[in-house]
Amino acid sequence: MTTDRQTDILAIARRQGRVLVDDLAQRFEVSVQTIRKDLNELCEARLLQRVHGGAMLGSGVENVDYEARRAMAASEKALIGRAAADLVPDGSSLFINIGTTTEAVAHALLRHSGLLVITNNINVANVMRPYPEIEVIVAGGVLRRSDGGIVGEAATDFIRQFKVDHAVIGVSAIDADGSLLDFDYREVRVAQAIMANARHVILVSDRSKFDRGAPVRVGHLSQIQTFVTDHVPNDDFRRLCRETGTRLIETAPAELPTPERV
């Protein structure tokens, strides 16, 4: 049974996606040791999952709210977005799917010209709409109110009409064996169609996706030509990138290890 403070911590995690030990200690005016104990108990109950300096939602069947995801690792996503955009030359056609990191790529692409963008992401369409050098085509289908994603069979069939130069995709989780995972099977079907109809598939994801789980398989790293991230957590995954022929671009590759605080 959770305490009132632990219930409040869970509520914060649901709003923000993750919680930090130091911030919680200051908020609740208790020691960091007390917060660590709270987080340990919540993690043991599988309500949260440990990450460096704190914890994040531990659910493998429910995604974090879109606004919370947008705020998480925002600076890292901006760097990933710029690096991915640099791979797309002017005059290209591309898919962009649902996600806060793919939205960061859309912002970075605004300096390009002559782009044809097909997307099932209303947020991406809104970002690019005012720019006359970018033609935007929005897939039809079921609008998911939680994040502005367009999903379902109609969206999947629409995507299959195209064959584009590049696809920029995001996923909700990345498994150690290279499996790419997500939460909504309807979204996964669209993502699979996007991957199958692009000549160059670019996966964009920050390192937090290595700490998460999700129940639906999108595909495998071997289907990705380029993976852009801020940092890969271990050499085993770098080796997997080499084995699958996936080009790895890390925007923060030389991070020094810091002591674990949780």
Confidence (pLDDT) at 49: 80
Buried b vs exposed e over 232-244: b needs ≥16 C-beta within 10 Å?
beeeebeebbeee
What would the two tokens of residue 9 be? 């911590």
Pairing of strands 173-174, 179-182: antiparallel
Q: Name the DSSP class of 151.
A: E
Q: What is the pLDDT of residue 258?
A: 41
CA–CA distance, 36 with 42 (Å, rounded to integer): 10
Domains by residue range for the chain, with CATH: 4-58 (1.10.10.10), 67-250 (3.40.50.1360)
Other beta carbons within 10 angstroms of residue 23's beta carbon come to 14
**Contact predicate 76/251, CB 8 Å:** yes
Nearest to 180 by CA among 168, 165, 170, 167: 170
Nearest partner of 86 among 54, 117, 65, 109, judged by Cα: 109
76 bridge partner residues? none
Per-residue model confidence as pLDDT tens for the chain (262 residues):
678 899 899 888 877 777 899 999 999 999 999 999 999 988 887 778 888 889 887 555 445 556 666 666 788 999 999 999 999 999 999 999 998 999 999 999 999 999 999 999 999 999 999 999 999 999 999 998 888 899 999 999 999 999 999 999 999 999 999 999 998 899 999 999 999 999 999 999 999 889 888 899 999 999 999 999 999 989 999 999 999 999 999 998 865 444 443 3
Q: What token pair was written down for 133? A: 């050098």
Q: What's residue 256's pLDDT?
A: 43
What separation in angstroms does the CA of 260 have from each of 53, 54, 73, 181, 199? 7, 9, 18, 27, 41
| Other residues' Cβ atoms within 10 Å of the Cβ of residue 258 | 8
How far apart (Å, rounded) are the C-alpha atoms in residues 60 and 249? 27
- Going by C-alpha positions, the residue among 140, 142, 222 that lies closest to residue 185 is 142
What is the C-alpha to C-alpha distance for residues 88 and 81, in angstroms, rounded to an integer? 11
Looking at this protein, which amino acid is placed at residue 140?
G
| Predicted TM-score (pTM) of this structure | 0.77
Residue at token pair 């797309």: 88
